[in-house]
């Protein structure tokens, strides 16, 4: 292990550390980290609205929509907030005005989404006006917010270098001067987005999803059917796109149909025909959330880096309930070359062990859809109809993913310690 750690630190870490310090990647990382307070608070409300105990869930259900309002306006708008903070960070790296960079990035992101008017669906005397679809402003819209940052700030930077800006006398207050300097970039950016979105009718959100969405035609009980969705989901997550939201759109109907077949077979007292159903991933692969991040949360708790240790403290409780936005955006894993590899390898390894366990009939196949906020061992036990061996497999997968994360975590920890010591 020491030799492997040394190889990671001497051969792997230097080039990837340099890559992670590139201007744009750093802006993405810093911008996403800035949204952490909203992500953490939103995650807590999500746990309250979806308790893992059925009796509590039934008690909360009448109030769930109201409880979820803070979640929908924090985590549900994460890409919008991130567009501002990433734009701010990138603009500052160019010695441009950060507030202007953030505002123009947010405006670019919003311009990528056309508002809709639903007044014709309402009673005659009621009107809501123009509405923006919130569904495109959460995790699934994060990559669009990154594109918005590039468009807005690079346009600002190019115009500034080219001399196309309005310069005010020094006697003018700085706040007024900044506003006039932003006029030409704002006009160019908004006109560009209007042409793309309105005149050419190009839905950038759908274009991005089609570019990054895998053409997944694998499902069922094959080994490739188990592994390939995991690869695509994690590649998308590491690029800042909600992988489950993209790939799941295609495969969830198939997975749930196969689960229904298992439930019908169980009710008839017959062998369960299918292995690869949605809870296969929920309880045995996405332990703590996409990327099998519960083991990483545990490692963070004992980190020598004060920042990583704090991330572990506020990530462990949501992680126990399979909510991993705090850790995936807090460490971060998104756009982090040092942690992309284990974030892909850990769930892949868990997929292999789980597939082998089910294919060799070491564990009862899944026939029950348990509440997704149950901690993984309990959820696995319920989903398999009370098979205690499912709990054992969950702990094996947690240990396995921890071993995969460990050397990369230590390398990243060393980098963070160097940065922390440099600032003290």
Per-residue pLDDT reduced to its tens digit, 247-294: 765 676 577 667 767 776 776 678 888 888 888 998 999 998 888 999
Q: What does the pLDDT read at residue 216?
A: 42
The helix (run of H) or strand (run of E) holding residue 131 is strand 130-131
Q: Can you say how many angstroms the Cα of residue 180 is from the centroid of all Cα atoms in its chain?
A: 36
Mean pLDDT over 127-142 rounds to: 76
Cβ-contact 346, 292 below 8 angstroms: yes
Mean pLDDT over 133-160 rounds to: 86
Q: Can you say how many angstroms the Cα of residue 170 is from the centroid of all Cα atoms in its chain?
A: 44
Mean pLDDT over 103-130 rounds to: 79
Residue 297 pLDDT > 90: yes
Per-residue pLDDT reduced to its tens digit, 375-404: 889 889 888 878 899 999 999 999 999 999
Q: What does the pLDDT read at residue 16?
A: 54
Residue 110 pLDDT > 60: yes
Q: Of 75, 28, 84, 33, which is closest to residue 310 (Cα–Cα)?
A: 33
Neighbouring C-beta atoms of residue 54, cutoff 10 Å: 12
What's the pLDDT band for 35 if we cut at 50, 70, 90? confident
Q: What does the pLDDT read at residue 8?
A: 53
Per-residue pLDDT reduced to its tens digit, 13-33: 566 556 556 788 788 878 877
Give the residue with greater pLDDT, 241 vs 399.
Answer: 399
Q: How far is CA 186 from CA 109, 151, 199, 216, 222, in A?
A: 13, 11, 18, 40, 52
Residue 214 pLDDT > 50: no
User: Torsion over CA of 401, 291, 340 and 109, rounded to 10 degrees?
Assistant: -170
Residue 130 pLDDT > 50: yes
Q: Which residues contact 172 (CB under 8 A, 6 or more apart)?
A: 180
Strand partners, 130: 117
Average pLDDT, the chain: 81
Take residue 151 and report the two structure tokens written for it: 């468009």
Neighbouring C-beta atoms of residue 181, cutoff 10 Å: 20
Q: What does the pLDDT read at residue 268?
A: 67
Per-residue pLDDT reduced to its tens digit, 340-359: 889 999 999 999 999 999 98
Cβ-contact 291, 333 below 8 angstroms: yes
Strand partners, 212: none
Take residue 90 and report the two structure tokens written for it: 């990138």
Per-residue pLDDT reduced to its tens digit, 298-309: 999 999 999 999
Cβ-contact 206, 173 below 8 angstroms: no
What's the pLDDT band for 215 if we cut at 50, 70, 90? very low
Q: Of 409, 420, 421, which is closest to residue 300 (Cα–Cα)?
A: 409
Query: Across 12-21, 104-113, 366-375, which has the greatest mean pLDDT?
Result: 104-113
- Give start and end residues of each alpha helix (H) in 8-125: 13-20, 23-34, 36-49, 54-60, 64-67, 69-73, 78-93, 98-111
Per-residue pLDDT reduced to its tens digit, 38-74: 877 876 787 687 676 677 878 888 888 888 888 888 8
């Amino acid at each position: 292990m020491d030799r492997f750690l040394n190889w990671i630190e001497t051969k792997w870490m230097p080039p990837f550390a340099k890559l992670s310090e590139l201007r744009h990647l750093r802006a993405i990382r810093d911008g996403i980290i800035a949204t952490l307070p909203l992500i953490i608070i939103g995650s807590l409300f999500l746990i309250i609205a979806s308790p893992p105990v059925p009796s509590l869930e039934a008690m909360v259900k009448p109030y769930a929509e109201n409880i979820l309002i803070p979640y929908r306006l924090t985590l549900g708008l994460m890409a919008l907030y991130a567009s501002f903070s990433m734009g701010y960070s990138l603009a500052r790296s160019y010695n441009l005005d950060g507030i202007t960079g953030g505002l123009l990035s947010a405006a670019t992101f919003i311009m990528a989404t056309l508002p809709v008017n639903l007044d014709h669906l309402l009673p005659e005397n009621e009107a809501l006006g123009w509405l923006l679809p919130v569904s495109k402003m959460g995790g699934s819209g994060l990559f669009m917010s990154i594109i918005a940052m590039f468009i807005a700030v690079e346009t600002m930077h190019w115009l500034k270098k080219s001399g196309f800006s309005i310069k005010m006398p020094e006697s003018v207050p700085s706040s007024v001067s900044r506003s006039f300097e932003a006029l030409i970039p704002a006009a160019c950016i908004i006109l560009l987005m209007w042409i793309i979105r309105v005149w050419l009718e190009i839905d950038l959100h759908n274009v991005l999803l089609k570019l990054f969405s895998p053409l997944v035609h694998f499902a069922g009980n094959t080994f490739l059917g188990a592994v390939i969705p995991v690869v695509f989901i994690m590649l998308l997550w590491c690029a800042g796109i909600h992988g489950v939201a993209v790939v799941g759109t295609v495969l969830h109907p198939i997975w749930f149909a196969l689960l229904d077949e298992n439930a019908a077979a169980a009710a008839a007292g017959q062998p369960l025909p299918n292995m690869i159903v949605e809870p296969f991933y929920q309880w045995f692969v996405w332990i703590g959330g996409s990327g099998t991040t519960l083991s990483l949360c545990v490692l963070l708790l004992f980190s020598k880096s004060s920042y990583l240790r704090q991330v572990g403290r506020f990530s462990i409780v949501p992680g126990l309930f399979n909510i991993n936005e705090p850790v995936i955006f807090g460490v971060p894993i998104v756009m982090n070359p040092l942690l992309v590899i284990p974030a892909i390898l850990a769930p892949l390894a868990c997929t292999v062990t789980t597939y082998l366990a089910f294919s060799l009939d070491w564990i009862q196949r899944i026939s029950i859809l348990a509440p997704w906020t149950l901690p993984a061992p309990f959820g696995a036990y319920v989903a398999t109809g009370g098979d205690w061996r499912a709990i054992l497999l969950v702990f094996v997968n947690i240990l396995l993913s921890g071993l995969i994360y460990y050397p990369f975590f230590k390398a990243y920890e060393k980098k963070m310690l160097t940065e922390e010591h440099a600032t003290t």
